């Protein structure tokens, strides 16, 4: 049964791949599974029909027969449970890869999202210039720790996993701020992720939506 | 093999159960598994021996034979995979419970942590009074959505799960701000969680550390 995901009708990032449907598209491409996309407007995301799928009024959602899911990482995890290629089979390695999924979302992403939000919501506030350095310092602190752990490795723990997939999408959000530039091994890690055929297909698909050229 | 977790030698919350070892203790109590605790100082958390366990220098960590894990939610998930009682067996219900784990950490927690951090880091800044309302509005937005979805239900999706466990620990962090008071069903949900025998045993154990009375 082909699942249906939701995505922005008009992505605020103009097709740069920062919207969270990208994570799900990429996971599906990595495991070679087809999917349908239903585009939703910002107005539609706040209506009962969409809130029934996701109580927080966000994209992406997942519909597969009777199963409805929300939260991009939970959908990636569901895909990884159903299809080989995103999580190791061996139990300990699998638990460690899942730890990187949570680390990406709960430890590395929050300061990066905070940095983005400051740029969007507080740019015209009188305290912007004074507050920004502290927010950026919190991002650098996490990036430095991540960089130190990654070292010269290709991926975070052995073969590419759903943990790398999520971490790469988190780092993508940091790149426009320039903060990633101080960590060459993280830039190279991100470039390796972006070079994966599955990433490229997913990126092209979401860009085609923005450009109005999707099938 | 009895696992060993790490916890603060001196918890900044003075034993109120807000430190993230509480999640792991509670999960272990729910499934009836014993555990050992190694207390770490703030200085020790920044040293190589601890960074080898958790590259981000946080507690809790998990050591079980050769397996080392970090990220409280990943450890809770690992416990739920090994022992019955924290995730449904049926595949769809299990995926939905996991979605609530990610929703707790990635959608509900970030604005709540931001609110806490503003109170700690920005209380003496000239913009504190002006910025606080916007931060609190972001917390209320998420709490209102969660409250609407929960409705009159006991738990988020059927029986108590690891999703409820994590969501309850996230709501606990919001309670000191008073923002939870506007949502009686969330207060009742949290009270139900705190009344669970497993929660009470875990709370007592972490409080005993703070009081210096642990066995």
> What does the buried/exposed string (b/e) look like for A4-15 if buried means 16 or more CB atoms within 10 Å of the residue's CB?
ebbbbbebeeeb
What are the chain B neighbours of A102 within 8 Å (beta carbons)? 71, 73-74, 77, 105
Average pLDDT of A146-164? Answer: 98
Question: Which phi and psi angles does B62 have, rounded to 5°?
Answer: -140, 125
Is pLDDT above 80 for A74? yes
pLDDT tens sequence across A32-61: 999 999 999 999 999 999 999 999 999 999
Is pLDDT above 90 for A98? yes
Question: Which phi and psi angles does B141 have, rounded to 5°?
Answer: -55, -50
A71:B106 CB<8 A? yes
Average pLDDT of B167-171? Answer: 98
B95:A74 CB<8 A? yes
A10 or B162: which carries more pLDDT confidence? B162
pLDDT tens sequence across B99-149: 999 999 999 999 999 999 999 999 999 999 999 999 999 999 999 999 999
Is pLDDT above 60 for A156? yes
pLDDT of residue B213: 80
What are the chain B neighbours of A99 within 8 Å (beta carbons)? 69-71, 74-75
What are the chain A neighbours of B106 within 8 Å (beta carbons)? 71, 73, 105-106, 109
Q: How many residues are present in chain A?
A: 215
Half-sphere exposure of B169 (CA within 13 A, CB side): 28
Q: CA B81 to CA B6: how far, in whole Å?
A: 20
Is pLDDT above 60 for B215? no
What are the chain A neighbours of B126 within 8 Å (beta carbons)? 127
What are the chain B neighbours of A134 within 8 Å (beta carbons)? 121
B105:A105 CB<8 A? yes
Comparing alpha-carbon positions, the chain B residue that sits nearest to A99 is B74
- Over chain A, what is the mean pLDDT? 96
pLDDT of residue A212: 87
* C-alpha distances in Å from residue B207, one per residue of A189, B45, B144, B184: 42, 20, 31, 27
Mutate to test the interface with A, among B47, B51, B53, B55 (most CBs of A within 10 A): B55
Mutate to test the interface with A, among B50, B105, B167 (most CBs of A within 10 A): B105
How far away is chain A from the Cα of B213, in angstroms, using its nearest Cα?
31
Classify domain A91-196 at the CATH topology level: Glutathione S-transferase Yfyf (Class Pi); Chain A, domain 2 (1.20.1050)
pLDDT of residue B139: 97
Residues of chain A with CATH 3.40.30.10: 4-85+198-211
The domain A4-85+198-211: what is its CATH number? 3.40.30.10
What are the chain A neighbours of B134 within 8 Å (beta carbons)? 121
Q: CA B96 to CA B89: how far, in whole Å?
A: 11
**Which residue reads 């939000």 in tokens?**
A117
Give the strand pairing for A36-40 and B67-70: unpaired
* C-alpha distances in Å from residue A164, one per residue of A20, A72, A158: 15, 14, 10
For A16, the 3-state DSSP assignment is coil
pLDDT tens sequence across B19-76: 999 999 999 999 999 999 999 999 999 999 999 999 999 999 999 999 999 999 999 9
For A61, the 3-state DSSP assignment is strand
A78:B70 CB<8 A? no
A–B: how many Cβ contacts below 8 A?
A: 119
Cβ atoms of B132 and B118 closer than 8 Å: yes
Cβ atoms of B90 and B34 closer than 8 Å: no
- Over chain B, what is the mean pLDDT? 96
For A204, the 3-state DSSP assignment is helix
Greatest extent of chain B over all pairs of C-alpha atoms, in Å = 53
How far away is chain A from the Cα of B191, in angstroms, using its nearest Cα?
22
B71:A103 CB<8 A? yes
B92:A121 CB<8 A? no
Choose among B33, B54, B39, B43: nearest CA to B5.
B39
pLDDT of residue A185: 98
Mutate to test the interface with B, among A95, A115, A117 (most CBs of B within 10 A): A95
Cβ atoms of A41 and A9 closer than 8 Å: yes
Q: If you count DSSP H runs as helices and E runs as strands, how many of each does chain A have, helices first? A: 10, 4
Q: Specify burial of residue A21 (Cβ count, 10 A radius: 0-12, 13-18, 19+).
A: buried
Q: CA A134 to CA A150: how far, in whole Å?
A: 25
Average pLDDT of B181-202? Answer: 98
B78:A71 CB<8 A? no
What are the chain B neighbours of A103 within 8 Å (beta carbons)? 56, 70-71, 74
**Which residue reads 């997942």 in tokens?**
A62
Q: What is the DSSP string of A64-133?
A: ETTEEEESHHHHHHHHHHHSTTSS-SSHHHHHHHHHHHHIIIIIIHHHHHHHHHHHHHSTTSTTHHHHHH
Residues of chain B with CATH 1.20.1050.10: 91-196
What dihedral do alpha carbons B168, B173, B175, B176 form, nearest 10°? 160
Q: How many residues are present in chain B?
A: 215
Mutate to test the interface with A, among B23, B58, B91, B106 (most CBs of A within 10 A): B106
A71:B99 CB<8 A? yes
The partner residue sitting opposite B114, judged by closest CB among A66, A106, A114, is A114
Show the tokens assigned to B74.
């990943």
What are B6's strand-pairing partners? Answer: B38
Which helix or strand (DSSP H or E) is residue A39 part of?
strand A36-40
């Amino acid at each position: 049964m082909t699942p249906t995901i939701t995505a922005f009708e008009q992505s605020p990032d103009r097709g740069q791949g920062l919207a969270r449907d990208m994570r799900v598209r990429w996971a599906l491409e990595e495991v070679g599974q087809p999917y349908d996309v239903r585009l939703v407007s910002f107005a539609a995301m706040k209506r009962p029909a969409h809130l029934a799928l996701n109580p927080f009024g966000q994209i992406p959602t997942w519909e597969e027969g009777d199963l409805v899911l929300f939260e991009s990482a939970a959908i990636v995890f569901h895909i990884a449970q159903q299809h080989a290629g995103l999580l190791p089979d061996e139990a300990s390695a699998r638990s460690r890869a899942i730890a990187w999924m949570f680390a990406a979302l709960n430890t590395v992403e929050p300061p990066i999202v905070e940095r983005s939000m400051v740029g969007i919501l507080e740019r015209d506030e009188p305290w912007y210039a004074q507050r920004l350095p502290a927010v950026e310092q919190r991002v650098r602190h996490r990036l430095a720790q991540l960089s130190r752990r990654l070292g010269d490795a290709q991926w975070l723990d052995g073969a590419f996993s759903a943990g790398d997939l999520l971490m790469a999408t988190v780092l993508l959000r940091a790149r426009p701020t320039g903060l990633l530039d101080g960590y060459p091994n993280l830039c190279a890690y991100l470039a390796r992720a972006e070079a994966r055929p599955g990433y490229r297909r997913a990126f092209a698909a979401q860009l085609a939506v923005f450009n109005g050229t999707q099938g």
